Amino acid sequence: MPLKKDGTGKRWVEMELIVPGTPEQVWQAMATGPGNTAWFTRTTIDERVGGTVRFDFGPNGNSAGEVTTWEPPRRFGYVERDWSEGAPPVATEITVTSRSGNRCVVRMVHSLFASTDDWDDQLESFENGWPAFFEVLRLYLAHFAAVQQTASFFVMTQIDLPPATGWERLTQALGLSAANVGDERTAPQAPQDLAGVVERVHQDDRQRYLMLRLSAPAPGIALVGSYGAGKATNASMAVYLYGDDAARQAAAGEAKWRDWLGATFKHA
């Protein structure tokens, strides 16, 4: 949905999606540190009004906020005051509403108050960045929400190639060229076992991504992407692992995948 404004200077973007699971399962995924780590990025949340929220975006830095609403399992809100240099605080509110068929509607709103449109593009970029992660969320809730042990990592490299060319090189290196939903694929020359079933493939003029439901190195999800970043391109992998071996496999794999990604595009 496009950015909205009102006469008070409030600007906001809002997103709504349907996900599988009970309100309690969806709340756990959306409003706790381990839950966010399982489908978004490594996160810690002090679960109370006034508590601290901290997102670790790896090579993209960190972001911290303060919990402003805590009403389990329905409403969760937080404000980030230093999300961008010189910007006004941005507030996020998440609501979870039960639907029939063991499903929930999740509504997420990012808003800020500003007298100019200086921050509109960045606010809209929040909306553009969520869809791939929402697909991970749906898959996580459908298959892994009951798993207690989770771990994740994110690696990225910036390359001087058009997004389509970067995507072609990345998918070729991972044995994912021309992959279709339902294909079983194995990365032939990866630094760590990587195998699974293709769950989603998406390509548009802004981003390309592919999602695998993993059988190796552990049960999990891999989100492989190529995104335009100004005149350059970001090639990235977000890996989410579940089960008793998740933390060990993530710790063993993060540096290896970071080095592999850099070497794959070394001469780009």
CATH, residue 258: 3.30.530.20
Classify residue 139 by burial, with Cβ atoms within 10 Å: 0-12, 13-18, 19+: buried
**Residue written as token pair 């190195």:** 217
Mean pLDDT of 233-247: 95
Q: 31 with 103, same domain?
A: yes
Range with top average pLDDT, 92-106, 160-174, 183-197: 92-106
Q: Tell me how far apart the alpha carbons of residues 197 and 179 are, in angstroms, rounded to a whole number.
A: 10
Pairing type for strands 220-229 and 103-113 reads: unpaired
Q: Tell me how far apart the alpha carbons of residues 222 and 170 are, in angstroms, rounded to a whole number.
A: 13
Would the pLDDT of 35 be above 80? yes
Q: Tell me how far apart the alpha carbons of residues 26 and 109 are, in angstroms, rounded to a whole number.
A: 16
* Domain range enclosing 215: 150-264
The total number of structural domains that make up the chain:
2
Would the pLDDT of 2 be above 90? no
Would the pLDDT of 176 be above 80? yes
| Prediction pTM value | 0.93
Mean pLDDT of 237-256: 96
Angle at 65 between CA 63 and CA 66, to 5 degrees: 165
Taking the CA atoms of 232, 185, 19 and 62 in sequence, report the sign of the dihedral they define.
negative
Q: Tell me how far apart the alpha carbons of residues 151 and 246 are, in angstroms, rounded to a whole number.
A: 6
Q: 85 with 105, same domain?
A: yes
Q: 130 with 161, same domain?
A: no
Of 93, 123, 143, the one marking the end of a domain is 143
Greater pLDDT, 255 or 60: 255
Tokens at 169, concatenated: 């090189």
pLDDT at 152: 97
Helix count and strand count (H, E) for the chain: 5, 14
